[in-house]
Structure 1
């Protein structure tokens, strides 16, 4: 390296680490991450990809975009409330506060008054029993699939004489996400699955004929991610409960979605209270779907069976951690959640917010197109056009000098429950329709926005967007549309 070699002017590592912004980033991200960014930037300068004088600024810019974890916060503008790909249920502020409190040392298995060991998850268990008084006891594990495996392992799994039979209707052999089949999960326990009935019709007599001294339990699974229509029949929980009591066999009802009580908006969605009143011995539900809490599996039911399941060695392997227990307790105790609020969002209120979003976007585009203009023809025209237009109508309004703005309109849009719940139930609402090429830019922008792509358009639905995020969402849309114009 010669005396005039520009690489001699690359800032030293200790010099960069001494910068106040870098010190702050080190405290938040960790020194290992910060050193990696510094060394990578210095290497770019050594290769001639970056001038030495730009190293410090590049390091600071890179650090400003870093997060302690690789997961990125997303604004859910799809209209799908329980979206599996983006983490299912968002936690309520109370649940988030509970998670933060539980992040340090907590009395997870300690009775502070006596100083002795206590039962894990007593607060969450008490909250569930208060919310669902038909249950005698409750057990919380790390997800609903684990709850099903634990229950069937306990009641019908491998024993010294071999596994017992689990009776299942052929119409309830469900495949869940990523290709996992519930029948395979149950078979992995050592239990033997006994198929009854047919795909579309299973009668009570089919269960009667299959019950024997080899039966460990009867399993009733709600088809939460599909629907069978037409020439169909199924045995109800009430019918099965009566039969199982007569034969001395436990009945497990896997509800899937996690409703603790009936919701008039979802009349066909089963709930824990109704299933228990109908006679189910054990009810299984998800914590992070319609209940609106953290990922967890909930078992509710007869105290002797819940205790038997909790004593199984597998229960230790699938128990819920302190963060999930804290979030679940806060969610259930509050009685509401962002999921419930999105599910019952008022259509007129959504329309008003969507029109306001359209006006904000229009103002932003007008300002960009004509500097100094904050409320021009573009803004007024788009706001005026935010009416109840069917999605299929052709948008031919001459609303603006800007072609991008003229492609924006407010349209009716049905949201969905998602997560396998409320199959086929439309949730009437509205969406801001944008040009299709805005979708990718919204997903990769800051903040990241996930819209819905439908009929060659990018749709932004506010059902799942907290109102305090509307301004940030408008800014993201404006940035995406400006980038499209410049491309």
Structure 2
């Protein structure tokens, strides 16, 4: 009796098929061959069990579809229509054209650690060190690869053997299930909890340092806030306690607000906290600062230098690309051109302008489907956007956009997987496109993407997951 597995085509034969040759040219030999081998193995097992195997054409088609459906090997540009300006899942702050140009230049060979005048080795962070001190009023400043890294490094270098005093109301969990107690422990530092969840006073910190705590940490609350019967010591009170005990006061500012702004009324301004006496502050570069992912430590020169010289600092340092983008972003502040950074341009756009854009977009996408049964109703709607990125929890920005009534899950998926990719939000079973974070120059692309997604709904049937 013949072996049923002999009916399964040989790999070499399939590799000669024109469609497979084209797939190898587009996607590379390894992923195509690996997927083919897996499909052939499944077919042989099916044949051995007496099952029916696909014909050769169907098998090749399924393999090529699987190769096409592989996750993208590079990041995909996205139109952010969520209404969250600093969307962590979408990369937070978009970079300015100047920062992108600087990043592109730095992709080549640059003077990262050499003084071109003397030919000697230079300081790696020279392009950002002086701008940061000028903009913040700090004696010294240093950057690492993100805000959490800056906090860990500061704790490692400055907290000492007695541990760090932290209010119980600030033992927060931030994105990705990272918790402050875990971050403190990962820095090799003892956590000394003080106060209660809702009320912590200066005398709680004073008792902790008198009992041996060797640093004070105030944590940015990130994505939540407490109201009602609550109390937190002022900056002046914490500075007084730290100075009296001769311990560093580490102030985690989170978002990196360099200039006060009406859209972020409750966010701490870096220069104000340093002027108030914080020993060192730590903050992010890719939130309200509007630059690339980075974590910045600024403050007293001796303490910043201890952070810079800590063995962990080398593992956390910035690469040349982010160094260049951060330097270009800081330059915008020094030139009084920060209003042109994407995050602030988005925040400052007048809602009347957003509504006019929404009306034009609604008119352009109305009637996009050839099948009236799936053609969604289009409505211009008033919305509330947020800064995001853990900034100003509870604060909103008036916005406007377009709401599409129809098969919401299917339409949202079509938008996310289209070209360009559009990420909306779903509210009350409608797809909502908030324009607050969409640059005006992307309106044409957004219209095209929505029209294409609606048209696709008219050519496909099935459940919302189709």
**What TM-score do you get using the length of structure 2 for normalisation?**
0.84
Q: 1:84 Cα deviation (Å)? A: 1.2
Deviations 1:154-193 (A, max 9, x none): 1124xxxxx2221111111111112111121112222222
Partner of 2:464: none
Shift of the 430–166 alpha-carbon distance from structure 1 to 2, 3 Å rule, reads same
**Matching of residues 23-422 of structure 1 within 5 Å:** 33-36=27-30, 39=33, 48-50=55-57, 69-132=73-136, 134-157=137-160, 163-212=161-210, 214-335=212-333, 336=338, 337-362=341-366, 364-365=368-369, 368=370, 402=372, 404-405=374-375, 407-422=377-392
Is contact 1:257–1:420 with CA below 8 Å preserved after alignment? yes
Q: For the aligned residues, what is the CA RMSD?
A: 3.1
1:125 and 1:48 map into 2 onto residues whose CA distance is: 65
The 8 Å contact of residues 262 and 274 in structure 1, kept in 2 or not, is answered as: no
In structure 2, the CA distance between the partners of 1:7 and 1:310, relative to structure 1 (3 Å rule), is closer
Aligned-residue offset at 1:249: 1.5
Report the 3-state secondary structure (helix = DSSP H, G, I; strand = E; otherwise coil) of the residue aligned with 2:457.
helix
| Structure 1 residue 273: Cα displacement | 1.0
The runs of at least 4 aligned residues of structure 1 exceeding 6 Å deviation read 5-11, 13-17, 40-47, 61-68
The question of whether the paired residues in 2 share the 8 Å contact of 1:146 and 1:318 is answered with yes
Q: Which residues of 2 match residues 433-452 of structure 1 at below 5 A?
A: 433-434=403-404, 435=406, 436-437=408-409, 438-452=411-425
CA distance in structure 2 between the aligned counterparts of 1:49 and 1:288, rounded to whole angstroms: 51
3-state secondary structure, aligned to 1:408: strand
Residue pair 1:208, 1:243 contacting (<8 A) in 2 also: yes
1:51 to 1:166, Cα distance in 2 relative to 1, 3 A: closer
Aligned residues of 2:200 and 2:233 also touching (Cα < 8 A)? yes
Deviates more, 1:145-154 or 1:119-128: 119-128
For residues 58-111 of structure 1, what are the alpha-carbon distances to aligned partners after superposition, in whole Å with 9 as ceiling and x for unaligned?
98x999999983322211110001111122222222111111111122111111
Task: Report the equivalent of 1:394.
Answer: none
Paired residue total: 430
> Could you list the runs of 5+ residues in structure 1 that have no partner in the other structure?
26-32, 158-162, 370-401
Quote the residue 2:458 is aligned against: 485
Residue from 442, 446, 458 that aligns with 1:473: 446
Task: Tell me if structure 1 keeps the 8 A contact 2:368–2:375.
Answer: no
Quote the offset at 1:427 in angstroms: 0.8
Give ranges in structure 2 of 5+ residues lacking alignment.
1-8, 44-53, 462-466
Q: Is the 8 A contact 1:37 1:62 kept in 2?
A: no
Q: Deviations over 1:269-295 (max 9, x none)?
A: 112111111111101001111111111
CA distance in 2, matches of 1:452, 1:109: 45
Show the counterpart of 1:377: none
| Alignment check: 8 A CA contact 2:368 2:454 kept | no
Q: C-alpha distance in 1, partners of 2:422/2:98?
A: 24
Distance 1:251 1:42 in 2: 60
Shift of 1:214: 2.5
Does 1:460 pair with 2:433? yes
Q: Which whole-Å deviations, capped at 9, do the CAs of 1:253-307 have from their partners, x for residues lacking one?
A: 1011111222122211112111111111101001111111111101111111111
Q: Structure 1, residues 390-435: CA drift from partner, whole Å, max 9, x if none?
A: xxxxxxxxxxxx4555621011110011111011111101121113
SS of residue in 2 equivalent to 1:104:
coil
| CA positional deviation for 1:215 | 2.5
TM-score where L is the length of structure 1: 0.80
Q: Deviations over 1:100-133 (max 9, x none)?
A: 111122111111111110111210222322322x
Which residue of structure 1 aligns with residue 6 of structure 2?
none
CA shift, 1:246, in A, is 2.3
Is contact 1:202–1:235 with CA below 8 Å preserved after alignment? yes
* 2:279/2:299 contact within 8 Å kept: yes
Seen in structure 2, the aligned counterparts of structure 1 residues 208 and 15 have a Cα distance that, compared at 3 Å, is: closer
Q: Cα distance 1:226–1:217, how it changes in 2: closer, same or farther (>3 A)?
A: same
Q: Is the 8 A contact 1:80 1:415 kept in 2?
A: yes
